[in-house]
Structure 1
Amino acid sequence: MAGNDRRRGAIRKPGSKKGMVVGSGGQRRRGLEGKGPTPKAKDRVSHPAKRKADAAKARAEQQRTRHRQKERSDNAEVIAGRNPVAECIRAGVPASGLYVAQGIDADDRVTEAVRGAGSRGISVVEVQRAELDRMTGGAMHQGLALQVPAYEYAHPEDVLTEAHNSGLPPLIVALDGVTDPRNLGAVIRSAAAFGAHGVILPQRRSAGLTAVAWRTSAGTAAKLPVARAVNLTRTLKDLKSEGLMVVGLDADSDITSDELELATGPLVVVVGSEGRGLSRLVRETCDQTVSIPMAGSVESLNASVAAGIVLAEVARRRRAR
């Protein structure tokens, strides 16, 4: 038999399977192995069930997106008044719409606001005055209102970093128990006017940057970082470890603001509420407390007024240095 025949001249015929030939390498055996269970219909490409599942997933994502947009809309604030609105647009505050009352007597502030909104792609909507009254909750809007998203607070470390980057001795204002948004807005405005680098608020028992605070600050909240601290006492201690001195306003202090020798160095000015003043832990954390000299017939000042007086004194001493 060819291939086994030992006779001289015997050869193996081409294509014979006997002897050493190139094998399949197990491909045929592996080809017979199972590939696992059949995928579900919704997991098969181009299957109708797959297309239906993908469409349902897309609808669910659209609903989540609309829900998030609604939440942002619900959390939006409306800033009312010609000066605050013009200041906010000038400062580049993110806004979603400028609302102008029909038949408004336009002055330079209205013209600036409308032009600024147009150049920044903010929609300008003309509404009836009654609708503007409803949107602003009856506030004195002067025919102009700006809708802005909820304020994004900075971190206390960001405020300190910005202060160091300024090249000047850090000056930070901290509020302890100030719950009136008008006072908050006024303090922010004074802080910006007298060279402070930022304002720090506690997360609890404190006013937030609502539309009222925006209005009172006249837009300066967009120029000055406002941070929230989980624990104000701990944050003050952290600032002290960074070399800042903490001075609290206390009506019972024997040291007056005229004697504030710490004004020219790195400083944190802490302002308490009108009635309660500084809390015990915050007062104990202060390196010094100061009072404001007043006539005997006046017991105390509004928190924002007191902050403005002390900050003005700090600015005066720094200029004279």
Structure 2
Amino acid sequence: MSSNRERNDWKAGRKQSARSGPKGPEKPGRKGDRPAPGGVREAPAAREGRRDGGRERTDPDSLIWGRHPVLAALANPARRGMGRLMATADRATELERDNLLHGHAVEVVEADRLARLLPPGAVHQGLVFKVRPLEGVDLDELARPARGLLVMLDQLTDPQNVGAIFRSTLAFGARGIIVQDRHSPALAGPLAKTAAGATERLPCARVTNLSRALRTLQDAGWHIVGLDGQGEATLDEALDSRPTVLVMGSEGDGLRRLVAENCDTLARIPMPGGFESLNVSNAAAVALYEASRKQAG
């Protein structure tokens, strides 16, 4: 079973409204309160939830942190009215000055308190956004019309690998990502940090059955290419200008049998250097580059 720390090599190749804002207005005159810049509210010093060794116990999967991920979330219309935004005084001033709040309220919080909300070592850059999950798009929204590129992830569970794939998928102009609902990490926490805002801009469809989803995509005119280290064709041979779905297998086990059987072609990435495998996020970046080049041609 993969974990958030795993770094296994790749061998085989969404509006839901959230009301997670402040629990109520502060009482005037509370000890320790002080004015906040631009009229934003100074957060109370009371701790949320339980404490664990000086660290507030908060589910990282309900949090987005870091400048790029938080700014992307604030700009996402689907998050309007959703979530609780916390920022240091300097960041709160910047958000107001540069009109980056997009209707959200901001609480001023000391940097050390933000750090206590996050996993050890997380770099918040003065911004933490507590959110609820976004709803995904319907598969049909991605399937029709059939054009461009899509990426499907077969039970990838490492948040940083998935976050990196989101970033590459957006960078190379693909239309969206398809994941299996029960076997994929939340689009927040470390995944959102690694994706650097891509999870807010790239449509994601969550489906129950990947094999059934592949057949739906084939019926809609998509060419399905599964990445497999033992594939019968090279990536260059398997790709062309047709609308293409790139299917990436899990970090340790690669593509599952039924998923592989529903691909039109299994393709390998030639590795003349003699090293037998790539990390799955690196393999996805290579495949996306090659597929986007074929699409442009």
TM range (shorter): 0.7 to 0.9
Residue 97 in structure 1 maps to residue 88 in structure 2: no
Amino acid at match of 1:276: D
Check conservation: 1:91, 1:219, Cα contact below 8 A. no
Structure 2 residue aligned with 1:86: 71
Offset at 1:157?
1.4
Check conservation: 2:72, 2:201, Cα contact below 8 A. no
Amino acid at match of 1:200: I
- TM-score norm. by structure 2 comes to 0.73
Offset at 1:211?
2.0
Distance in 1 (alpha carbons) for counterparts of 2:289 and 2:20: 43
Cα distance change on mapping 1:171 and 1:113 into 2, 3 Å: farther
Structure 2 residue aligned with 1:127: 109
Offset at 1:178?
0.4
Distance in 2 (alpha carbons) for counterparts of 1:112 and 1:289: 47
Cα distance change on mapping 1:146 and 1:208 into 2, 3 Å: closer
Structure 1 residue aligned with 2:256: 279
Higher relative helix content: 1
Offset at 1:149?
2.2
The SS at the match of 1:264 is coil
Select 1:151's aligned residue among 122, 134, 155: 134
Residue 198 in structure 1 maps to residue 176 in structure 2: yes
Percent of pairs with identical residues? 37
Select 1:160's aligned residue among 143, 148, 163: 143
Q: Which runs of 5+ in 1 are unaligned?
A: 1-67
Offset at 1:291?
1.0
Q: Figure out how many residues of one structure are paired with residues of the other and give that number.
A: 241
Amino acid at match of 2:113: E
Amino acid at match of 2:143: L
Check conservation: 1:159, 1:197, Cα contact below 8 A. yes
Cα distance change on mapping 1:101 and 1:286 into 2, 3 Å: same
* Coordinate RMSD, CA, aligned: 2.7
Structure 2 residue aligned with 1:35: none
The SS at the match of 1:98 is strand
> Greater RCO between the two (CA within 8 Å, min separation 6)?
2
Deviations 1:15-45 (A, max 9, x none): xxxxxxxxxxxxxxxxxxxxxxxxxxxxxxx
Decide which structure has the larger Cα Rg and report it.
1
Structure 2 residue aligned with 1:141: 124
Amino acid at match of 1:130: D
The SS at the match of 1:85 is helix
Cα distance change on mapping 1:273 and 1:85 into 2, 3 Å: same
Distance in 2 (alpha carbons) for counterparts of 1:291 and 1:133: 42
Distance in 2 (alpha carbons) for counterparts of 1:217 and 1:207: 13
